Amino acid sequence: MQLKRVVITGIGVVSPLGNSVASFIDGLETGKSSVRFMEEWTHYNGMRSFVAAPAELKDEKKIPRQNRRTMGRMSIFAAQASEQAVADSGITPAEISSGRTGCIIGSTMGSAKSINDAFEIMLPERDLTRLSSSMFFQCMSHTATVNVAQYLGLTGYLMTSAAACASSLQAVGIAYDLIRLGRQDLFLCGGTEELHPTVTGSFDILFATSVKYNQAPQKTPRPFDKDRDGLVCGEGSGIMVLEEYEHAVRRNAKIYAEIAGYSTFGSGSHMSQSDKKSMIHCMSEALHSADIKPGQIDYINAHATGTPQGDKEEAEAIKEIFGASVPVSSLKGYIGHTLGASGAIELIASLIMMEKGIIYPTLNLKEIDPDCGGIAHITGPVRKEINTVLKNCFAFGGINASLVCRKNIY
């Protein structure tokens, strides 16, 4: 069977830096941190981290109430990013509803606020009758996928990837595989996430959050830096249109890049600790599937969240495969860790870097930790022709994902 080629023809972003691709990229170019002190979280007993990167919920009432009532915050973000991606790609309503266009949107879970609200409403009197009929649809794990599909009239394959921080990159990888196999012509895919104190709190309990910079929020997170002390949660959505190459050519679509390779593997070693051996395996398999040698990669967009162990293991894994020959940066310093949305949002940024020939640096990387040395850290904007990109996502549960894109279409 001859596998089909897959390209990216549309992008959309809602991020802590703004509700469009343009505002997101402008924030990266100007070195803007979106992290702030969350005063409203301080009444939570036991919380130590009060920093986060919130996005703005904006123009949500443009979504008809019939659709919006089953959407939590994260589904609204996904719907808005999806509309952007569809408009950017130029695909028609007829193509969307043809049955040949699918949707896969990943997230860590359903709407955190809606889940929290449901228990707060129900539990005092254990009264289920107090719950609204639409609340379940906001809470369920596949809420973003089905809400976007209903809103846009998608009738093709509908799936959801729920793999913590690897969710959206897995969504892209699954869509890539299904188009290669000829199951669909197009996919809306990516990820979405929303902030809530219980989300940051779950990382806080694991001692994975940044706690030293509550009074100086824009100095954290600090990927690869010797003074890093943990991650900062963010929110938003990144959605892409993936398309079979010949289908895109026939309609003269703009092509951002071709997906050349993808891999996802489990570490099988520890629930929360990163493991460089499994990272090496994942990146190596992505390169192998793309038929690309390490020296042919022009830029690595690292997962690096600012945790001591995670950054160290990823840096060591990159060093073993690439040495110090390939530029590396992380975008978490600008927008925090958007969890299930991070892979897609950061991949979109990487596509724009390819288009513009620039690498955006790791924000807040002032002094490279010796444990993260031996790789080509980017600490200031670098002009460079970028034809190939490797994007990493490494999640709790030992779930690793790596994806290779190339700009030059052969």
Residue pair 253/90 in contact (Cβ under 8 Å)? The answer is yes
Coil vs helix vs strand at 108: coil
Residue 337 is a catalytic residue: yes
Tokens encoding 43: 């009444």
- The stretches of 181-236 forming alpha helices (DSSP H) are 197-205
Instruction: Return the number of other C-beta atoms located less than 10 Å from residue 346's C-beta.
Output: 25
Catalytic residue among 337, 377, 393, 405: 337
Tokens encoding 8: 């990216």
**Closest of 205, 230, 102 to residue 154, by C-alpha:** 102
- The stretches of 14-154 forming alpha helices (DSSP H) are 21-29, 65-68, 73-89, 93-96, 112-122, 135-139, 143-152
**Closest of 306, 334, 311, 381 to residue 32, by C-alpha:** 334
DSSP conformational letter for 155: -
Question: What is the rounded distance in angstroms from the CA atom of residue 389 to the CA atom of residue 408?
Answer: 11
- For tokens 């991949």, the residue is 347
Instruction: Find all residues with CB under 8 Å of 157, minimum gap 6, and list them.
Output: 102, 103, 104, 178, 183, 184, 187
Catalytic residue among 142, 247, 303, 377: 303
Instruction: Find all residues with CB under 8 Å of 302, minimum gap 6, and list them.
Output: 223, 224, 314, 318, 328, 329, 330, 392
Catalytic residue among 103, 139, 165, 405: 165
Residue 372 is a catalytic residue: no
Question: What is the rounded distance in angstroms from the CA atom of residue 289 to the CA atom of residue 256?
Answer: 20
Residue 247 is a catalytic residue: no
Instruction: Find all residues with CB under 8 Å of 384, minimum gap 6, and list them.
Output: 298, 299, 327, 357, 358, 359
Question: What is the rounded distance in angstroms from the CA atom of residue 336 to the CA atom of residue 221?
Answer: 7
Q: Which positions are catalytic?
A: 165, 303, 337
